[in-house]
Amino acid sequence: MSKPHLNIRLLNDNKIAMGPGKAELLDAIMQFGSISAAAKSMHMSYRRAWELVDVMNNAFQEPLVISSPGGAHGGGAVVTDFGLHILKTYRDLISKAHSASSQELVVLTQSLKVTE
Amino acid sequence: MSKPHLNIRLLNDNKIAMGPGKAELLDAIMQFGSISAAAKSMHMSYRRAWELVDVMNNAFQEPLVISSPGGAHGGGAVVTDFGLHILKTYRDLISKAHSASSQELVVLTQSLKVTE
Protein backbone atom coordinates (compact mmCIF):
# COMPACT_ATOMS: atom_id res chain seq x y z
CA MET A 1 0.00 0.00 0.00
CA SER A 2 0.99 3.62 -0.38
CA LYS A 3 -0.28 6.96 0.86
CA PRO A 4 -2.73 8.94 -1.27
CA HIS A 5 -0.88 10.86 -3.94
CA LEU A 6 -1.19 12.35 -7.40
CA ASN A 7 0.16 10.36 -10.31
CA ILE A 8 0.99 12.65 -13.23
CA ARG A 9 2.00 11.15 -16.56
CA LEU A 10 2.62 12.50 -20.04
CA LEU A 11 0.69 10.39 -22.53
CA ASN A 12 1.37 10.39 -26.24
CA ASP A 13 -0.46 8.18 -28.68
CA ASN A 14 -1.83 6.19 -25.70
CA LYS A 15 1.69 5.43 -24.45
CA ILE A 16 3.31 6.84 -21.32
CA ALA A 17 6.13 9.02 -22.66
CA MET A 18 7.11 10.11 -19.14
CA GLY A 19 5.82 9.26 -15.69
CA PRO A 20 6.98 8.57 -12.14
CA GLY A 21 8.34 5.08 -12.92
CA LYS A 22 10.32 6.22 -15.96
CA ALA A 23 11.70 9.23 -14.07
CA GLU A 24 12.82 6.94 -11.25
CA LEU A 25 14.42 4.60 -13.78
CA LEU A 26 16.39 7.49 -15.31
CA ASP A 27 17.64 8.40 -11.82
CA ALA A 28 18.70 4.80 -11.24
CA ILE A 29 20.49 4.55 -14.61
CA MET A 30 22.41 7.73 -13.73
CA GLN A 31 23.28 6.29 -10.34
CA PHE A 32 24.22 2.76 -11.39
CA GLY A 33 25.45 3.27 -14.94
CA SER A 34 23.59 0.40 -16.55
CA ILE A 35 20.03 -0.64 -17.28
CA SER A 36 20.45 -4.01 -15.57
CA ALA A 37 21.85 -2.52 -12.34
CA ALA A 38 19.15 0.17 -12.41
CA ALA A 39 16.47 -2.49 -12.88
CA LYS A 40 17.87 -4.54 -10.02
CA SER A 41 17.87 -1.52 -7.69
CA MET A 42 14.16 -1.02 -8.49
CA HIS A 43 13.29 -4.73 -8.11
CA MET A 44 12.25 -4.71 -11.75
CA SER A 45 13.12 -7.22 -14.45
CA TYR A 46 15.80 -6.26 -16.96
CA ARG A 47 13.26 -6.84 -19.72
CA ARG A 48 10.76 -4.45 -18.12
CA ALA A 49 13.40 -1.74 -17.60
CA TRP A 50 14.56 -2.14 -21.18
CA GLU A 51 10.97 -1.78 -22.40
CA LEU A 52 10.50 1.43 -20.41
CA VAL A 53 13.71 2.86 -21.90
CA ASP A 54 12.57 1.79 -25.36
CA VAL A 55 9.18 3.52 -24.97
CA MET A 56 10.89 6.75 -23.81
CA ASN A 57 13.50 6.68 -26.55
CA ASN A 58 10.81 6.12 -29.18
CA ALA A 59 8.41 8.71 -27.77
CA PHE A 60 10.85 11.63 -27.94
CA GLN A 61 12.74 13.17 -30.83
CA GLU A 62 16.11 12.14 -29.38
CA PRO A 63 17.14 9.24 -27.14
CA LEU A 64 17.02 9.82 -23.39
CA VAL A 65 19.24 6.81 -22.70
CA ILE A 66 22.12 5.42 -24.74
CA SER A 67 23.32 1.95 -23.91
CA SER A 68 26.45 0.23 -25.12
CA PRO A 69 26.45 -3.46 -26.04
CA GLY A 70 28.24 -6.11 -23.98
CA GLY A 71 27.32 -9.13 -21.87
CA ALA A 72 24.01 -10.94 -21.64
CA HIS A 73 22.27 -7.94 -20.13
CA GLY A 74 24.05 -5.26 -22.13
CA GLY A 75 26.89 -3.03 -21.09
CA GLY A 76 26.76 0.43 -19.58
CA ALA A 77 24.06 2.99 -20.13
CA VAL A 78 24.04 6.76 -19.84
CA VAL A 79 21.29 9.34 -19.62
CA THR A 80 21.87 11.87 -22.38
CA ASP A 81 21.83 15.66 -21.95
CA PHE A 82 18.49 15.56 -23.74
CA GLY A 83 17.28 12.98 -21.22
CA LEU A 84 18.40 15.18 -18.33
CA HIS A 85 16.56 18.13 -19.87
CA ILE A 86 13.34 16.10 -20.25
CA LEU A 87 13.65 14.72 -16.71
CA LYS A 88 14.18 18.19 -15.23
CA THR A 89 11.28 19.65 -17.21
CA TYR A 90 9.00 16.78 -16.11
CA ARG A 91 9.98 17.25 -12.47
CA ASP A 92 9.41 21.02 -12.73
CA LEU A 93 5.98 20.28 -14.20
CA ILE A 94 5.12 17.92 -11.33
CA SER A 95 6.34 20.42 -8.76
CA LYS A 96 4.33 23.33 -10.19
CA ALA A 97 1.22 21.17 -10.70
CA HIS A 98 1.40 20.01 -7.08
CA SER A 99 1.89 23.50 -5.66
CA ALA A 100 -1.00 24.94 -7.64
CA SER A 101 -3.46 22.19 -6.73
CA SER A 102 -2.42 21.47 -3.15
CA GLN A 103 -5.68 22.80 -1.69
CA GLU A 104 -7.81 20.49 -3.82
CA LEU A 105 -5.48 17.57 -3.12
CA VAL A 106 -5.99 18.06 0.61
CA VAL A 107 -9.78 18.10 0.18
CA LEU A 108 -9.67 14.92 -1.92
CA THR A 109 -7.28 13.00 0.31
CA GLN A 110 -9.24 13.96 3.43
CA SER A 111 -12.36 12.54 1.74
CA LEU A 112 -10.72 9.16 1.20
CA LYS A 113 -11.28 6.26 3.54
CA VAL A 114 -8.43 5.79 5.97
CA THR A 115 -6.56 2.62 5.02
CA GLU A 116 -4.73 0.72 7.69
CA MET B 1 -4.15 7.47 -31.06
CA SER B 2 -4.53 10.68 -29.11
CA LYS B 3 -2.70 13.98 -28.84
CA PRO B 4 -0.04 14.40 -26.16
CA HIS B 5 -1.67 15.25 -22.84
CA LEU B 6 -1.22 15.04 -19.10
CA ASN B 7 -2.99 12.23 -17.29
CA ILE B 8 -3.55 13.12 -13.64
CA ARG B 9 -4.91 10.51 -11.25
CA LEU B 10 -5.43 10.31 -7.51
CA LEU B 11 -3.96 7.06 -6.25
CA ASN B 12 -4.76 5.56 -2.87
CA ASP B 13 -3.40 2.25 -1.69
CA ASN B 14 -2.26 1.56 -5.28
CA LYS B 15 -5.79 1.98 -6.63
CA ILE B 16 -7.05 4.84 -8.78
CA ALA B 17 -9.54 6.64 -6.52
CA MET B 18 -10.19 9.27 -9.20
CA GLY B 19 -8.94 9.81 -12.72
CA PRO B 20 -10.05 10.92 -16.18
CA GLY B 21 -11.99 7.70 -16.93
CA LYS B 22 -13.87 7.70 -13.64
CA ALA B 23 -14.68 11.41 -13.99
CA GLU B 24 -16.05 10.77 -17.48
CA LEU B 25 -18.10 7.85 -16.15
CA LEU B 26 -19.65 10.07 -13.46
CA ASP B 27 -20.61 12.59 -16.17
CA ALA B 28 -22.19 9.81 -18.20
CA ILE B 29 -24.14 8.41 -15.21
CA MET B 30 -25.50 11.91 -14.57
CA GLN B 31 -26.45 12.24 -18.23
CA PHE B 32 -27.97 8.81 -18.76
CA GLY B 33 -29.25 7.91 -15.29
CA SER B 34 -27.92 4.36 -15.14
CA ILE B 35 -24.59 2.57 -15.06
CA SER B 36 -25.48 0.38 -18.04
CA ALA B 37 -26.49 3.31 -20.25
CA ALA B 38 -23.42 5.25 -19.13
CA ALA B 39 -21.19 2.27 -19.94
CA LYS B 40 -22.81 1.90 -23.37
CA SER B 41 -22.23 5.58 -24.16
CA MET B 42 -18.53 5.10 -23.36
CA HIS B 43 -18.23 1.82 -25.31
CA MET B 44 -17.33 0.12 -22.06
CA SER B 45 -18.70 -3.16 -20.69
CA TYR B 46 -21.28 -2.96 -17.91
CA ARG B 47 -18.97 -5.05 -15.77
CA ARG B 48 -16.07 -2.63 -16.26
CA ALA B 49 -18.23 0.41 -15.47
CA TRP B 50 -19.57 -1.31 -12.38
CA GLU B 51 -16.00 -2.08 -11.24
CA LEU B 52 -14.96 1.57 -11.68
CA VAL B 53 -17.96 2.70 -9.61
CA ASP B 54 -17.13 0.08 -6.99
CA VAL B 55 -13.51 1.25 -6.71
CA MET B 56 -14.64 4.89 -6.31
CA ASN B 57 -17.32 4.05 -3.77
CA ASN B 58 -14.87 2.00 -1.73
CA ALA B 59 -12.04 4.54 -1.97
CA PHE B 60 -13.98 7.43 -0.49
CA GLN B 61 -15.72 7.84 2.85
CA GLU B 62 -19.15 8.10 1.23
CA PRO B 63 -20.54 6.64 -2.00
CA LEU B 64 -20.19 8.76 -5.14
CA VAL B 65 -22.83 6.73 -6.98
CA ILE B 66 -25.96 5.07 -5.63
CA SER B 67 -27.68 2.54 -7.86
CA SER B 68 -31.08 1.00 -7.37
CA PRO B 69 -31.68 -2.68 -8.09
CA GLY B 70 -33.77 -3.88 -11.02
CA GLY B 71 -33.27 -5.78 -14.27
CA ALA B 72 -30.29 -7.82 -15.35
CA HIS B 73 -28.05 -4.78 -15.51
CA GLY B 74 -29.43 -2.99 -12.49
CA GLY B 75 -31.86 -0.10 -12.36
CA GLY B 76 -31.16 3.59 -12.26
CA ALA B 77 -28.08 5.20 -10.76
CA VAL B 78 -27.47 8.68 -9.41
CA VAL B 79 -24.34 10.63 -8.61
CA THR B 80 -24.61 11.77 -4.99
CA ASP B 81 -23.96 15.32 -3.76
CA PHE B 82 -20.74 13.94 -2.31
CA GLY B 83 -19.88 12.54 -5.74
CA LEU B 84 -20.53 15.92 -7.36
CA HIS B 85 -18.29 17.57 -4.75
CA ILE B 86 -15.46 15.10 -5.40
CA LEU B 87 -15.86 15.47 -9.17
CA LYS B 88 -15.78 19.27 -8.99
CA THR B 89 -12.75 19.23 -6.68
CA TYR B 90 -10.91 16.81 -8.99
CA ARG B 91 -11.69 18.97 -12.04
CA ASP B 92 -10.53 22.10 -10.19
CA LEU B 93 -7.30 20.28 -9.30
CA ILE B 94 -6.74 19.29 -12.95
CA SER B 95 -7.44 22.80 -14.13
CA LYS B 96 -5.04 24.44 -11.67
CA ALA B 97 -2.35 21.83 -12.26
CA HIS B 98 -2.58 22.40 -16.02
CA SER B 99 -2.46 26.19 -15.75
CA ALA B 100 0.55 26.15 -13.46
CA SER B 101 2.57 23.70 -15.57
CA SER B 102 1.57 24.79 -19.07
CA GLN B 103 5.05 26.07 -19.93
CA GLU B 104 6.69 22.74 -19.05
CA LEU B 105 3.96 20.83 -20.87
CA VAL B 106 4.68 22.81 -24.05
CA VAL B 107 8.41 22.05 -23.78
CA LEU B 108 7.73 18.34 -23.26
CA THR B 109 5.14 17.98 -26.01
CA GLN B 110 7.34 19.86 -28.47
CA SER B 111 10.13 17.38 -27.68
CA LEU B 112 7.95 14.41 -28.60
CA LYS B 113 8.14 12.77 -31.97
CA VAL B 114 5.33 13.84 -34.23
CA THR B 115 2.97 10.90 -34.66
CA GLU B 116 0.88 10.68 -37.79
Output the pLDDT for position A74. Answer: 64
What is the mean predicted confidence (pLDDT) over A91-115? 96
Contact: B96, A92; criterion CB under 8 Å: no
Output the pLDDT for position A2. Answer: 74
Across the interface, of A11, A101, A113, the residue whose CB is closest to B59 is A113
Could you tell me if A116 lies within 8 Å of chain B, comparing CB atoms? no
H/E element, A78: strand A77-79
Contact: B96, A93; criterion CB under 8 Å: no
Of 3.40.50.970, 1.10.645.10, 3.30.365.10, 1.10.10.10, which CATH number belongs to B10-111?
1.10.10.10
Residues of B within 8 A of A101 (CB-CB) are: 92-94, 96-97, 100
What is the mean predicted confidence (pLDDT) over A34-53? 96
Output the pLDDT for position B32. Answer: 96
Select from B111, B95, B92, B88 the least CA-distant residue to B6: B95
Q: Could you tell me where the beta strands, DSSP code E, fall in chain B?
A: 5-12, 15-18, 65-67, 77-79
Cα A93 from Cα B57, distance rounded (Å): 30
Residues of A within 8 A of B98 (CB-CB) are: 97
Most B CBs within 10 Å, among A7, A111, A115, A116, to test the B interface: A111
Output the pLDDT for position B68. Answer: 85
Please check whether residue A74 is in contact with residue A34, taking contact to mean a CB–CB distance below 8 angstroms. Answer: yes
Cα A58 from Cα B7, distance rounded (Å): 19
Q: What is the pTM of this model?
A: 0.91
Q: From the first residue on, what is the mean pLDDT of each consecutive set of 10 residues in chain B (116 residues)?
A: 89 94 98 95 96 97 90 81 98 98 97 83
The ipTM estimated for the assembled molecules is 0.91
Per domain, the residue ranges of chain A are 10-111
What is the mean predicted confidence (pLDDT) over A31-58? 96
Output the pLDDT for position B54. Answer: 97
Residues of B within 8 A of A7 (CB-CB) are: 8-11, 16
